[in-house]
Chain A
Amino acid sequence: MNKPIQSIVVVGTDLHAWTIALGLIVELGHKGVSIKVVGRPQDERQGVLSLDSSAHSFHQRLGLKEASLISTMGGSYRYGIKLSNQSSHSSERIFSYSATGEMLNRVDFHQYLSRLNLSRLRLLAKEADLEQYSLTAQAALEGKFSHPAADSKLAKIDYNLQFDRRRYLSLLKNAAMNHGVSLIEHDVVAAKQSDDGAISRLDLTSGDSILTDFVFDCSGFIFDQVLNIQHESFADTVRFNRCLSWSASCGEATSLLNGVKGLQHGCLVTQSLPGRMAYTLNYHDQQLTDKQALEMASGLSQDLSPEQFEFGDLKAHMRVQHWVANAVAIGSVAGSSGNFIFSELFHTQTALARWLDLYPNQEINPHLSAQYNNSTATEYRRVLDVHGLLLSIVDNNIALPATLEHRIQLFAATGNVAFYEEDVFDRHQWVNLLMACGIWPQRCDVMLSDHSAQTISELLAAVKSDNQALIASMPSLDALLAAIRQAA
């Protein structure tokens, strides 16, 4: 048997680097594996970090308690995203993570709605929207929140967390270092490869060198300058290349819904934390100059000074290989399709879990990296499907991936969801997003073709009524957050 890994270096000091470092030290530290983070500390960009479904298991794995995270970092919860378009107020809809309604007589709930919709030719407009029957969408509109509760009608609630980005990074960094991660505050200037292509030594600006058995690259140095691994562009689907971020205090109740709003030249993402709202304007610099973007942002938050706005680049892509020899690309080095529904941190958390699942020895095994690369590339494509669908309501001219086109066509024709390997959404989440994006089936399940509109209306009214009763019993989000903070 070849030798086990004894030393891992994480190159870079951003949020992704500390996520990986903490995950590695918790999983491998007690086995004697040393974890070093290498790079000069840099300012993490401001804003709100919206975590995804992968964060629940990630926190659990690291022993991070949710209530403690919420209280120490002023975090919050979210149930979904409000989608809207500047050009049409009637197109405002809510995408929620939780399933809407329940399967009845082996037929998905949304099929009942489709049946009603078809029979009434959508005359009832908003009344027929799926969100009207979504427990969490309606709760979010009332500012009410509940965790899922086993063996109850609240059992199927899905929710996600969000935190201040810099405070979350700080927490991860402190936790990692408390567990034994070493920070070496110098940049990497050169890497030595052994005959099999493995990175065996990193030379630093200090003149020192460190030996390593495995490298996670969150800086781009290894993948761009040493290994020279190419990218596959997603720019035909995600057509923004710039973003402008800022945040402003907010006296309104904390929202359980983030926002994605289509503008004439761009897309505005809003995220809510207690007492604060964060904004990100995504745009393409050929359609909107930085100056115009700043004017637009200043118009939305007039009390802020120019230095409180932060410009950034947005590169929609993925590497053609994510694990090469003994190096893995992480964070924006690995790829991105923007932070619209899934954040880049989603890929980092799943990458960590995937790599640990394939945990290698020192010897390079091409079968392990092939398996990792295949799964990782597929995951990026699945997220691109989600973001492509979302952005299609903002921009009619984007190129849809073939898998997304098939999903849309199938759903529009049949009301069924095409499910692909490594899908990042459950079926019900696809249904919620497709319908929130205004894609309605042209027919309903054959089992419902002989149900009268009256029967279905009564059934749907009962669902609404049940939801209202449940929402009435939920605490308000802000009251709950205050109670969590107080308990801490």
Chain B
Amino acid sequence: MHKDKDSIRRIAIVGGGTAGWMTAAALAKLFEHSDCQIQLIESEQIGTVGVGEATLPHLRFFNQRLGIDEPEFMKAVNATYKLGIEFVNWGQLGDAYIHPFGDFGSPINGIPFHQYWMQAQQQGSNTPIGDYSLPVEMCKRNKFMFPAQDRSLLSTYSFAYHIDASLYAKYLRGYSEALGLVRHEGKVIKVNQNSASGFIESLDIDSGQNIEADLFIDCSGFRGLLIEQTLETGYQHWNHWLPCDRAIAIPCESTSEPLPYTRATADKAGWRWRIPLQHRVGNGHVYCSDFISDDEALDSLLSGLDGKPLAEPNFLRFNTGRRNKMWNKNVVAIGLSAGFLEPLESTGIHLIQLGIMKLMEFFPNRQIASAYTDEFNRVMTMEVERIKDFLVLHYNATERNDSEFWKYVSNMNLPDDLQHKMDLFKTTGRVVKYQEGLFLEPSWVAVYLGQRVQPSNIDARVSTYSQAQIESVLSRFKMGVDAAVSEMPSHLDALSNVAQNNNDGWKNASMSLYGD
């Protein structure tokens, strides 16, 4: 029993889908032993976006916090393992590189590994930097093994999943309802606000019910039923930097062994995703309607499918950007209602998870002091802005000029922070480091070097090493990677172990997000 009279006792979540049910599950677990009532309102007549099938390693923490058994989860959502993303045709047509969940080499005498690699390139080496990354080699050889918990080479990576997002939502619905969450079928037809404070007090739904709550979570998607249509919070548009505004999603039959990585292939006016699940492949095309028609975009998507389409194409429209405040009065926006960033780096589910975790960390009482909302908005804004910069980098760091779209993105003005980051790398090979934020040094290195950003200078301390010394260190590391990956089981074997309940390894896997 709550003993605090100011405690929040009623929470209403508006919208199902991945965001709604992840929020529901987390809050249901949080309040498992309390009298706080959690309700979710969704309508089967309103479809969900249903993409966001590639995840980041952070999802493992979310599932662990809910006490979800990994093999059970993987079977329920037809998951495969994911070790990174392959980017095809981004720097130039014909290019390909993998952005892994892990490191490239390891620092030597306090100097980042990529500085030695760049020196070796200047001295004539042509070995790709991916050859010094365990997860990149695992991707290339279609291998999978759980990362070790020690400090060895086998601990230098992490993993995530490719999942069927609609099955994940369904799974979490069962989980939440088992913990006592009440689901209401219906559409919200009226939002009732306190005339003085503007706080939302209740929702009328078309079934005739009136749902009262102290705190409302807006998971209603792009429209932002509460955060925007009711509270008029405002939206910051990022179309200038991320001009893609439409997507088409379509699943198809799988025709080969599932790969342990997502593929993002740059196209004429955007890019196409390929996400291998156990039972099918998820595909999509994100594009800019200023440069390509819907029909042309669909043709491009269909021509690149592995197998027969399994459904009709789902056309989506979006405005890239973020809500001015993701928590306004007693409404917290989570998922697409908080903002939208294209799924180029699989950040959709991660941002949902982050919003939920921060809400739990700053869970308020009924007065909702500004200390909670200010900190939530500060942290979420910083995270989203940094992800935005990283996504913009993918478009701007290119030599492509084969279409009007690529000419535009390669010449557009950049956000100041990103401009500084790129200037620093271009002139010195240094990556701007920060403690908070999703993408750290290895991620930036992967994209810079994968997309042909060649620094004009490298760390002067490295230039004092002889060619033989550098070659020796690099060669030793590459041999270590080769040997380690050769011993690993295939990705398919790892998935078979899940199916055959022979998969206890995850319990001993390192929970590090990017390897130790």
Which residues of A are at the interface with B, using a C-beta cutoff of 8 A?
1-2, 4-5, 27-28, 31-32, 61, 106, 119, 356-361, 365, 367-368, 370-371, 406, 409-410, 412-414, 416, 418-419, 421-423, 443, 445-447, 449-450
Is B424 an interface residue, CB under 8 A from the partner? Answer: yes
CB of A410 within 8 A of CB of B2, answer no
Q: Smallest CB–CB gap between A137 and chain B, Å?
A: 26
- With both beta carbons as reference points, the residue of chain A lying nearest to B3 in the complex is identified as A449
User: Can you name 12 extra interface pairs (CB under 8 A) apart from A5-B460, A368-B424?
Assistant: A4-B463, A31-B461, A61-B110, A357-B110, A361-B457, A365-B457, A367-B420, A368-B427, A414-B371, A446-B31, A449-B4, A449-B34
CB of A450 within 8 A of CB of B34, answer yes
Q: Smallest CB–CB gap between B359 and chain A, Å?
A: 10
CB of A414 within 8 A of CB of B3, answer no
CB of A449 within 8 A of CB of B2, answer yes
Chain B, 1-47, CB within 8 A of any chain A CB:
1-4, 6-7, 30-31, 33-34
Residue among B365, B434, B460 with most chain A CB within 10 A: B460
Chain B, 408-447, CB within 8 A of any chain A CB:
420, 423-424, 427-428, 430, 432, 434-436
Top-9 shortest CB links A-B: A413-B371, A31-B464, A4-B460, A367-B424, A367-B423, A446-B363, A410-B371, A409-B371, A413-B369
CB of A416 within 8 A of CB of B463, answer no
Q: How far is the CA of A360 from the CA of B33 in the complex (A)?
A: 58
Which residues of B are at the interface with A, using a C-beta cutoff of 8 A?
1-4, 6-7, 30-31, 33-34, 65, 110, 360-365, 369, 371-372, 374-375, 378, 420, 423-424, 427-428, 430, 432, 434-436, 456-457, 459-461, 463-464
Known: A370-B420, A371-B432. A414 touches B460 (CB 8 A): no
* B362: chain A residues within 8 A (beta carbon): 414, 416
Q: How far is the CA of A371 from the CA of B427 in the complex (A)?
A: 12
CB of B30 within 8 A of CB of A447, answer yes
Q: How far is the CA of A414 from the CA of B369 in the complex (A)?
A: 9
Q: How far is the CA of A422 from the CA of B433 in the complex (A)?
A: 10
CB of A359 within 8 A of CB of B461, answer yes
Q: How far is the CA of A360 from the CA of B429 in the complex (A)?
A: 11
CB of B365 within 8 A of CB of A443, answer yes
Q: How far is the CA of A449 from the CA of B464 in the complex (A)?
A: 60
CB of B375 within 8 A of CB of A418, answer yes
Q: Smallest CB–CB gap between A420 and chain B, Å?
A: 8
Q: How far is the CA of A445 from the CA of B461 in the complex (A)?
A: 49
* A5: chain B residues within 8 A (beta carbon): 460
Q: Smallest CB–CB gap between B234 and chain A, Å?
A: 22
- With both beta carbons as reference points, the residue of chain B lying nearest to A360 in the complex is identified as B460
B375 is contacted by which of A410, A422, A449 (Cβ under 8 Å)? A410
What are 25 A-B contacts with C-beta separation under 8 Å? A1-B463, A4-B464, A28-B461, A31-B461, A31-B464, A61-B110, A356-B461, A367-B420, A367-B424, A370-B420, A370-B424, A371-B430, A406-B374, A410-B371, A410-B375, A412-B371, A414-B371, A416-B361, A421-B434, A423-B435, A443-B6, A445-B363, A446-B7, A446-B360, A450-B1
Q: How far is the CA of A457 from the CA of B325 in the complex (A)?
A: 40
- With both beta carbons as reference points, the residue of chain A lying nearest to B458 in the complex is identified as A1
A416 is contacted by which of B1, B3, B375, B423 (Cβ under 8 Å)? B375
Q: How far is the CA of A5 from the CA of B460 in the complex (A)?
A: 8
